[in-house]
């Protein structure tokens, strides 16, 4: 988005005490930082650089009784700072407080950037700066989802495991047995390896597994070996969403179980009709003979 120029804005908006106030406060922040300005001046956004020269967009909504009442702010951060506001406060005070907030988040982002560069992150593939979770490949069709607290990023994270039930149960037991090994002054990735008692796969391992498509419901490549699954026992995903912008793969068994849980699913003879859990496009799954 292009920057607004001071002269252009002054010509566009009628003169009033409110407009003059907002213009003067934008001047203090710097017109070169302004990204967007609403016609009525009740919304504006600035591009703010943090200490590592990363760009952040700060959105500000001004109430009609501004500045007696505090504006509301939003940004692509894990949590927003609480404004310290008085009737004499100005936009520049908001920018200053937001910059301080960005400074407090640097350790959080550094840890996540380190995880992204060292480990095999499966999801999110293009994380926003607000994202506070990472799903990490552990090998053997298993992964761990970490929820990292932005306020105390070095603390023990909440986690859950995905994968074959037998392996997941073993990982849960290991985590429960070793979680007290977590030391906040130890590097994050080293902490993970210590608690899980394993070396963690690097990104190249994830790249090698990209051709091994996992099910979008159970998050593993192969179904468990189970006589109740019949011919599907140990099988790979065998159904793909027809929507070309989705193309998510599923085990037909998993998709069938998911469709059964949805009240809008229809069944005709041995075929269930419903919607893809990712894109809501139409899907149709033939029931197993033992269903």
- Topology annotation, domain 107-208: Ubiquitin Conjugating Enzyme (3.10.110)
Domain with CATH 3.10.110.20 in the chain: 107-208
Longest CA pairwise span in the chain (Å)? 78
Report yes or no: 272 and 266 within 8 Å, Cβ to Cβ.
yes
**CATH assignment of 6-104, given 1.10.10.10, 3.30.465.10, 3.10.110.10, 3.90.1750.10?**
3.10.110.10
pLDDT digits (tens, 9 = 90+) for 226-270: 777 777 777 888 888 888 778 888 999 999 998 988 888 898 888
Helix 188-196 and helix 106-118, axial crossing angle in degrees, nearest 10: 60
Delimit the CATH 3.10.110.10 region(s) of the chain: 6-104
Q: What letter does residue 39 receive in the DSSP assignment?
A: T
Q: 126-145: per-residue pLDDT in tens?
A: 889 999 999 999 988 889 99
Could you give the dihedral angle defined by the CA atoms of residues 154, 159, 164 and 167, in that order, rounded to the nearest 10 degrees? 60
Q: What is the CATH number of domain 227-286?
A: 3.30.40.10
Paired residues of 271 in beta bridges: 268, 286
Instruction: Note whether 236 and 242 are within 8 A (CB).
Output: no
**Boundaries of CATH 3.30.40.10 in the chain?**
227-286
Under 8 Å between Cβ of 213 and 221: yes
10-residue mean pLDDT profile of the chain (291 residues): values are 51 66 94 92 94 93 92 96 94 97 96 92 87 91 93 96 90 96 94 92 58 77 77 82 84 90 86 89 78 48
């Amino acid at each position: 988005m292009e920057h607004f120029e001071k002269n252009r804005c002054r010509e566009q908006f009628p003169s009033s005490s409110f407009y003059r106030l907002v213009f003067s406060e934008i001047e203090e922040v710097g017109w070169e930082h302004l990204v967007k300005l609403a016609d009525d001046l009740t919304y504006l956004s600035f591009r703010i650089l943090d200490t590592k020269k990363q760009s952040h967009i700060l959105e500000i909504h001004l109430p009609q009784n501004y500045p007696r009442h505090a504006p509301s702010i939003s940004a692509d951060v894990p949590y927003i700072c609480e404004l310290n506001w008085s009737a004499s406060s100005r936009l520049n005070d908001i920018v200053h407080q937001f910059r301080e907030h960005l400074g407090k988040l640097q350790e959080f982002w550094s840890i996540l950037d380190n995880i992204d560069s060292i480990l095999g992150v499966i999801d999110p593939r293009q994380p926003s700066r607000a994202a506070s979770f990472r799903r990490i490949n552990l090998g053997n069709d298993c992964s761990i989802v970490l929820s990292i607290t932005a306020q105390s990023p070095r603390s023990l994270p909440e986690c859950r495991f995905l994968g074959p039930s037998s392996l997941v149960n073993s990982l849960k037991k290991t985590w429960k047995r070793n979680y007290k090994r977590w030391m906040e002054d130890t590097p994050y990735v080293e902490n993970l390896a210590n608690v899980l008692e394993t070396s963690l796969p690097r990104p190249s391992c994830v790249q090698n597994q990209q051709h091994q498509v996992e099910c979008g419901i159970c998050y593993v490549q192969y179904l468990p070996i189970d006589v109740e699954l019949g011919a599907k026992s140990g099988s790979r995903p065998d159904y793909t969403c027809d929507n070309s912008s989705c193309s998510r793969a599923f085990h037909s068994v998993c998709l069938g179980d998911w469709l059964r849980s949805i009240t809008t699913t229809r069944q005709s003879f041995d075929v269930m009709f419903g919607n893809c859990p990712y894109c809501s496009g139409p899907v149709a799954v033939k029931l197993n003979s033992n269903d």
